[in-house]
Structure 1
Amino acid sequence: MLEKMIFGRYIPGTSFVHKLDPRSKLLFVFIFIIAVFLANNTITYAILLAFTLLVIFSSRIRLYFLLSGLKPILFLIVFTMLMHIFFTKEGSLLVHWGFIKVYTEGLRQGIYISTRFLVLVLMTSILTLTTSPISITDGMEDLLGPLKRFKLPVHELALMMSISLRFIPTLMDETDKILKAQLARGSDISSGTIQQRIKAVIPLLVPLFVSAFKRAEDLAIAMEVRGYRGGEGRTRYRQLTWSWRDTAIIILLVVVIGILIWLRG
């Protein structure tokens, strides 16, 4: 399962979303996060879900591949929905089976919250899947450029976030290799009591932390020998270009926000 994780991964492509400027995609995701909280009824949530599916279709990333890579998050989404369904005691009683009681308000809130969580995860995943870590760094640094007047290390902050995103799939691959090596030696973390599983995970965590620190040290040495001294005085080989696509996608999102505000209540 770990080799299918898509967090932090980048898939090269030539789709409409791939061709967007990283600044517009970052702005799009930030505004979309705000727009999600404007939905408060069935119609507005349906519009959000349809708009998310439209973006996924425009990125040419298969929905099955996207959902299969988000299985851990999907489990959390389902768990959140069930918590609302079983523990919200408002509205009319729908189901009464033993100690289980399901109310209309609990079912409604469970569906709404899980849908909100799902579209947020899908949209942020599309950002990382269609934008290289270097482009994310350049776009973030450019957007945060005005903060340099307040002596904030914008370049360093953007670089740290980009490296963090890039390390996620690397650590997942490393975890998968260590897990397979432990299984080949007879270790089993999928059976037994909770205490036994916790003890079985320890041999997995120790080499993972050692590998993570080793990779971080190698990266620091590589940056040092190449003369990296921060963002002061640095030039860019890649120039960001804002095109009509970027303007169109932001305008489309603003239109969707206007529709959500109109349909609220």
Structure 2
Amino acid sequence: MFDNVIIGQYVPRESFIHRMDPRAKIIAIFIFIVFLFISRHPVVLMLAAILTGVTFLLANIPFRYYIKGMHFIAIIILLTFLLHLFMTNDGRVLLDLSWITIYSGGVIEGSLIALRLFLLVLMASLLTLSTMPMDLTDGLERLMKPLAAMGVPTHELALMMSIALRFIPTLLEETSKIINAQMARGANFSKGSLWTRLKALIPILVPLFIQSFKRAEDLATAMEARGYNGSKGRTKFRRLQWKRNDTIAIGVLLIFALITVIFRVYT
């Protein structure tokens, strides 16, 4: 059930995207997400789609693997589209039945939101697929370094974010094992009323929470045994290096941002 979830996984490859500085990737993703939702113009969305496709090709992630991993996200995107389709009452009537009315505005709004969400998930997933967890932690810490002057524990925050991303596939694997074990004992999660199905989730959630706390305790014990005491006195074995390709990538995203602002202001 959860074998195809790709969020939090890393795929080692020799590609342009993999060689980028993690700080550049995080900044690029931030720029892309912010300006993707600023404009509704078709030209901007087309440019965003082209940019996503080019980034995907440069990352050299196996196409079948990526499409297989998008099955779980496709359900959320479809529900988002249907929600806007049935709840938006703008435009001309396309379908008028006794129990439902579909407007052209609902189709347009649902399509725009679904496309934006799809592109957002693709680009955000590429960040973890092409960046090792330790590099992601270092990049987040360096970007949040100005906050350290105000007493914000930037190292600890970056470490928690990285650990959370790293353990998403592990928790999903644990969930799949628990579900299979419960089904082997006769549990059924696909029949009955909604309330019956919700109650059937209790035998899954309880052992999952127990396993999660146990893993967290084991991780904390292992870190303490190795002398971990936060960022105090720590040095970096691998130093981040900002290269020309990183500057080019950020420049491309800034051009996209500028085009988005132009279409937002003058159209």
TM-score between the two structures when normalised by the length of structure 1: 0.95
Q: Which residue of 1 aligns with 2:80?
A: 80
Kindly report the root-mean-square deviation, in angstroms, between the aligned alpha carbons of the 2 structures: 1.4
Q: Residues of 1 paired with 2:51 and 2:96: CA distance?
A: 36
User: How far off its partner does 1:95 sit?
Assistant: 2.2
Q: Residues of 2 paired with 1:6 and 1:239: CA distance?
A: 27
Answering whether residue 8 of structure 2 is matched by residue 8 of structure 1, we say yes
Counterpart amino acid of residue 236 in structure 2: R
SS in 1 for 2:95: strand
1:40-68 C-alpha deviation (Å, 9 max, x unpaired):
12222121112111111111123443233
Q: Residues of 2 paired with 1:44 and 1:99: CA distance?
A: 36
SS in 2 for 1:2: coil
Aligned counterparts, 1:151-170, within 5 A: 151-170=151-170
User: How far off its partner does 1:196 sit?
Assistant: 2.0
Q: Which residue of 1 aligns with 2:173?
A: 173
Q: Which residue of 1 aligns with 2:243?
A: 243
Answering whether residue 94 of structure 2 is matched by residue 94 of structure 1, we say yes
Q: Which residue of 2 aligns with 1:183?
A: 183
1:49-108 C-alpha deviation (Å, 9 max, x unpaired):
121111111111234432332333221211111121122111122222333222221111
Q: Which residue of 2 aligns with 1:35?
A: 35
User: How far off its partner does 1:179 sit?
Assistant: 1.2
SS in 2 for 1:18: helix
1:1-51 C-alpha deviation (Å, 9 max, x unpaired):
211111111111111111101010011111111111222122221211121
SS in 1 for 2:190: coil
Q: Residues of 2 paired with 1:38 and 1:193: CA distance?
A: 42
Q: Residues of 2 paired with 1:132 and 1:183: CA distance?
A: 35
Q: Residues of 2 paired with 1:41 and 1:85: CA distance?
A: 19
User: How far off its partner does 1:127 sit?
Assistant: 0.2
SS in 2 for 1:3: coil
Aligned counterparts, 1:1-265, within 5 A: 1-264=1-264, 265=267
SS in 2 for 1:150: coil
The answer to which of 92-101 and 18-27 deviates more is: 92-101
SS in 2 for 1:108: helix
SS in 2 for 1:95: strand
SS in 2 for 1:228: coil
SS in 1 for 2:17: coil
User: How far off its partner does 1:201 sit?
Assistant: 1.3
**Long gaps (5+) in structure 1:** none
The answer to which of 151-160 and 64-73 deviates more is: 64-73
TM-score between the two structures when normalised by the length of structure 2: 0.95
User: How far off its partner does 1:261 sit?
Assistant: 2.4
1:194-219 C-alpha deviation (Å, 9 max, x unpaired):
22212221111111111111100000
**Long gaps (5+) in structure 2:** none
SS in 2 for 1:102: strand
Q: Would you identify which runs of 4 or more consecutive aligned residues in structure 1 move more than 3 Å?
A: none
